[in-house]
Amino acid sequence: MKNFEFFEPTTLAEASRLFAQEHTLLLAGGTDIVIGMKALTETPQSVISLQKIPGLAGITTESDGSISVGAMAKVREVELSADIQQHHTALAEGAAEIGSIQIRNLATIGGNIAHASPAADTVAGLLVADAQVDIASADGERSVPIDELFTGPGQTVLAPGEIITRFRLPAPASGSHYIKHKIREVMDLAFIGVAASVSLDNGVITNARIGLAAVAPTPIRATEAENLLNGNELTPELLAQAGEAAAAGASPISDLRCSAEHRSEMVDVLTRRTVQTAVDRA
Amino acid sequence: MAKLQVNLKVNGDEHDLLIEPRKTLLAVLRDTIGLTGTKEGCSTGDCGACTVIVDGKAVTSCMVLGVTASGKEITTIEGLASDGELHPVQQAFIDTGGYQCGFCTPGFIMASKVLLDEDPNRSEEEFRHALGGNICRCTGYTKILEAVLKAAEEVRTTA
């Protein structure tokens, strides 16, 4: 690892001013950047820790049922939060899929999202939660919907100096589920990840949301499939149509882990499985 | 680059140290403090050999910058026994033969220790899954699982 200057600001404004400089990295949990710096794929001049800034951690449930997840909340906390398990099951299930317990005790949800891997395990759950991403900089604050955050692999709309502060999850749908397609039970990267959430009104699906990870340059929503589901009761035929529509909307690549054809096929399969489970849980 | 002043509380002992920001907690423990019980395996977080306990949580110390551990309570394998008495999980690894070359053993023991603190009533399957971040290349894991289950029983009966 090359050496670097280390900063531990205690305010967001100070952190933002430091992070606006070139050749800087933010340190949240460190599980991505420390490994990157060892491999020399990251050679920052400065590392700016967010660990001493108050107010960035914690998971709180508001009176209207919405949940606020601090960007510095550990992935393990997201996994074990009773409110997230109950109301945003897909997000808790996604968090539980990351690395090992040792890694989840270090890694933060903000880091998992800001790293902008299309395969991030918390991203599909945040997509189907319709999360708002709060962003701060020395110039002020703004908020963007999670499905507008990513612009490409490792790329986001975040400008230099902008820092994700929290994720706001609006009052939830009634049932959701996440499936990670993988080989190993733990310590694996997703071939693909699929999350679905639905509400039911007398058996009729409303607010269907499907989030897909590792099937396109950015995480995406399967809006065609969602539109097919909304306003209808779930039948085997409708489920099959939704699976096909989700697969048609994906644009996966072939890589070391699996082929594009396999990924497309599994988008179909896992969309059907996650939607069925989300409906069963609703 | 300037070295930074840190205060590490390791196994109850305070260490005031000057360290480079790029030094991982693992490197500080082994090379600066001289506690070589914690092992460096893959150095990428995959193998769990470097597992230590920081503020009650098991973490892979190869992924932690030493400067960020300042002020935190750190326990390594050297700090697990008290008054010459082995922790039940250490004794169980000896009793069942839960190790062969021993390189992964400190990591397995520290990870298991926290699992037993949290919930000794886990099923074998749950222990197996929760220890998925620790790799052993010798034992085939059977004896390790036996050790952890034996320690869990010990912890349950003495709690």
The residue out of A126, A146, A169 marking a domain boundary is A169
Task: Assess whether A184 and A228 both reside in one domain.
Answer: yes
Kindly report the nearest CA distance between residue B139 and chain A, in angstroms.
19
Task: Assess whether A217 and A273 both reside in one domain.
Answer: yes
Q: Do B133 and A105 touch (CB under 8 A)?
A: no
Could you tell me the pLDDT band of residue A251, with boundaries at 50, 70 and 90? very high
Task: Assess whether A193 and A123 both reside in one domain.
Answer: no
The residue out of A117, A140, A169 marking a domain boundary is A169
C-beta of residue B133 within 8 angstroms of C-beta of residue A31: no
Check residue B158 and give its pLDDT. 87
Of A34, A99, A105, which is closest to B24 when you measure between CB atoms?
A34
- pLDDT tens column, A86-104: 999 999 999 999 999 999 9
Residue A231 lies in a domain: yes
Kindly report the nearest CA distance between residue A7 and chain B, in angstroms.
10
Q: Do B58 and A6 touch (CB under 8 A)?
A: no
Q: Do B59 and A5 touch (CB under 8 A)?
A: no
**Average pLDDT over every residue of A34-56:** 98
Three-state DSSP at B73 gives strand
Q: Do B58 and A102 touch (CB under 8 A)?
A: yes
From A34, which residue of chain B is nearest by alpha-carbon distance? B63
Residue A54 lies in a domain: no
User: Angle between the A89-96 and A260-281 helix axes, to the nearest 10 degrees?
Assistant: 130
Task: Assess whether A63 and A165 both reside in one domain.
Answer: yes
Task: Assess whether A163 and A182 both reside in one domain.
Answer: no
Residue A279's alpha-carbon distances to A169, A173, A204, A274, B36, in angstroms, are 20, 10, 10, 9, 52
Q: Do A30 and B63 touch (CB under 8 A)?
A: yes
Residues of chain B positioned with their CB less than 8 A from the CB of A105: 57-59
Q: Do A3 and B1 touch (CB under 8 A)?
A: yes
**Position A157 pLDDT exceeds 90:** yes
ipTM higher than threshold 0.95: yes
Say which CATH number the domain at A217 has.
Answer: 3.30.390.50
Residues of chain B positioned with their CB less than 8 A from the CB of A98: none
Say which CATH number the domain at A44 has.
Answer: 3.30.43
Type of residue found at B68: T
Residue A189 lies in a domain: yes
Task: Assess whether A83 and A163 both reside in one domain.
Answer: yes
Cα–Cα distance measured from residue A175 to residue A200, given in angstroms and rounded to the nearest whole number: 9
Task: Assess whether A131 and A208 both reside in one domain.
Answer: no
Query: In chain A, how many domains are there?
Result: 3
Q: How are strands ordered across the β-sheet holding A46-49?
A: A5-7, A46-49, A24-27
Residue A277 lies in a domain: yes
Element (H, E) at A70: strand A67-70
From A49, which residue of chain B is nearest by alpha-carbon distance? B68
Task: Assess whether A119 and A190 both reside in one domain.
Answer: no
**Average pLDDT over every residue of A239-264:** 96
User: Angle between the B88-96 and B105-118 helix axes, to the nearest 10 degrees?
Assistant: 130
Q: How are strands ordered across the β-sheet holding B13-19?
A: B13-19, B4-10, B73-75, B51-54, B57-60
As a whole number, the mean pLDDT across chain A is: 97
Q: Do B67 and A187 touch (CB under 8 A)?
A: no
Cβ-Cβ contacts under 8 Å for A237 (sequence gap 6 or more): none
| A33 close contact with B: CB closer than 8 A | no
Q: Do B22 and A1 touch (CB under 8 A)?
A: yes
Task: Assess whether A131 and A186 both reside in one domain.
Answer: no
Q: Do A102 and B48 touch (CB under 8 A)?
A: yes
- Domains along chain B with CATH numbers: 4-76 (3.10.20.30), 88-158 (1.10.150.120)
Of A30, A184, A187, which is closest to B64 when you measure between CB atoms?
A30
Of A6, A105, A185, which is closest to B58 when you measure between CB atoms?
A105
The residue out of A49, A68, A85 marking a domain boundary is A49
Residue A144 lies in a domain: yes
Tell me which residue range forms the domain holding A191: 175-281
Task: Assess whether A32 and A118 both reside in one domain.
Answer: no
Name residue, tokens 């520290």: B110
Residue of B65, B108, B112, B119 for testing the chain A interface, max A β-carbons within 10 Å: B65
Of B44, B58, B132, which is closest to A185 when you measure between CB atoms?
B132
From A2, which residue of chain B is nearest by alpha-carbon distance? B22
The predicted model scores a pTM of 0.97
**Average pLDDT over every residue of A71-84:** 98
In order along its 159 residues, chain B shows pLDDT tens digits of 689 999 999 999 999 999 999 999 999 999 999 999 999 999 999 999 999 999 999 999 999 999 999 999 999 999 999 999 999 999 999 999 999 999 999 999 999 999 999 999 999 999 999 999 999 999 999 999 999 999 999 999 987
Residue B111's alpha-carbon distances to A28, A185, A254, B49, B100, in angstroms, are 22, 18, 36, 10, 18
Kindly report the nearest CA distance between residue B127 and chain A, in angstroms.
11
From A5, which residue of chain B is nearest by alpha-carbon distance? B1
Task: Assess whether A80 and A165 both reside in one domain.
Answer: yes
Task: Assess whether A163 and A138 both reside in one domain.
Answer: yes
C-beta of residue A28 within 8 angstroms of C-beta of residue A112: no
Q: What are phi and psi of B51, to 5 degrees?
A: -60, 125
| A24 close contact with B: CB closer than 8 A | no
| A180 close contact with B: CB closer than 8 A | no
Say which CATH number the domain at A67 has.
Answer: 3.30.465.10
Check residue B1 and give its pLDDT. 67
